[in-house]
Amino acid sequence: MLREVTEYFILNNFSVSVIGRDIQKLNYFTDKFPGKKTIDLISQDYCDTESFIKAVDTNIKLHGIFDIVISWLHSNANNSLLQLIDVLAKYNSKTIFYHIKGSASSSLAQTKSNLFNNKLDYREISLGFKIENNSSRWLTNTEISNGIIDAYMSKKTKYVVGQIEPTDRRP
Ligand SMILES: NC(=O)c1ccc[n+]([C@@H]2O[C@H](COP(=O)([O-])OP(=O)(O)OC[C@H]3O[C@@H](n4cnc5c(N)ncnc54)[C@H](OP(=O)(O)O)[C@@H]3O)[C@@H](O)[C@H]2O)c1
């Protein structure tokens, strides 16, 4: 779902690190952009908190601290999310941290927002839905990616892609 966001940053000559489990899927980026030397693929399960944090830490030591992090972690990895914030903050509190929240975002992620904000340049992007022809549907991957790029360009600290209300119109 964040593939096109990743491509946006690659095409804009950012040095980009991508985390996912399946190296075949990750290879998509180096296959598509063979001329770009700044794509780092990290095959890692973010639910394995210890290995995940170690992988991030190693990446920072190799390439330097991230200017921007775009984070989409499922709610079963809240511990990894909190530790990710801590390891980033240890290096630099100026990292812009985009926390992508799905429609079923966990309460833990919501209540910890203030804590995040003290440590990093914390920004939230909520993924909503669309109402078209009086029926509602979830966002497409392209709409999600474009929304995240718009959020980045706008520099807003809170951004909603699509709409999150009225809640009784959720698909
Ligand atoms: N409000 C909305 O409209 C809304 C909100 C959320 C999602 N959605 C939709 O729901 C669909 C499914 O979303 P999704 O997030 O489940 O799947 P997804 O879009 O396929 O994204 C999951 C990504 O995270 C990686 N990933 C997943 N679990 C991981 C783990 N434990 N460790 C490391 N990387 C992991 C996956 O790569 P690997 O498999 O290689 O690990 C993949 O790159 C999306 O395509 C989107 O359209 C809509």
Percent of residues, the chain, with pLDDT higher than 90: 74
Parallel, antiparallel or unpaired: strands 129-132 and 135-138: antiparallel
Q: Is 90 in the pocket of ligand 1 (CB under 6 A)?
A: no
Residue 162 is classified by DSSP as S
What's the domain count of the chain? 1
Least confident of 9-13, 100-104, 131-135: 100-104
Number of helical H runs and strand E runs in the chain: 7, 8
H-helix or E-strand spanning residue 136: strand 135-138
Q: Is 49 in the pocket of ligand 1 (CB under 6 A)?
A: no
Average of per-residue pLDDT across 124-152: 96
Q: Using the predicted structure, report yes or no on whether residue 108 has a pLDDT greater than 60.
A: no
Q: Using the predicted structure, report yes or no on whether residue 56 has a pLDDT greater than 80.
A: yes
What's the CA gap between 124 and 127, in Å, rounded?
10
The stretches of 14-140 forming alpha helices (DSSP H) are 23-32, 49-63, 78-91, 107-111, 113-119
Note the pLDDT of residue 94: 86
Note the pLDDT of residue 26: 97
The enclosing domain of 65 has a CATH number of 3.40.50.720
Query: 140 or 82: which carries more pLDDT confidence?
Result: 140
| Gap from CA of 72 to ligand 1 centroid (Å) | 8
Q: Using the predicted structure, report yes or no on whether residue 161 has a pLDDT greater than 60.
A: yes
Contacts of 40 (CB under 8 A, 6+ apart): 15, 16, 17, 18, 59, 62, 63
| Gap from CA of 123 to ligand 1 centroid (Å) | 20
What's the CA gap between 160 and 128, in Å, rounded?
7
Kindly report the pTM of this predicted structure. Answer: 0.91
Q: Domain of residue 127: give its range.
A: 3-169
Note the pLDDT of residue 114: 59
* pLDDT tens by residue, 69-95: 999 998 889 899 989 998 998 887 789
Note the pLDDT of residue 100: 94
Note the pLDDT of residue 75: 84
Q: How confident is the model at residue 153 (pLDDT cuts 50, 70, 90)?
A: very high
Note the pLDDT of residue 24: 97
Q: Is 147 in the pocket of ligand 1 (CB under 6 A)?
A: no
Q: Is 20 in the pocket of ligand 1 (CB under 6 A)?
A: yes
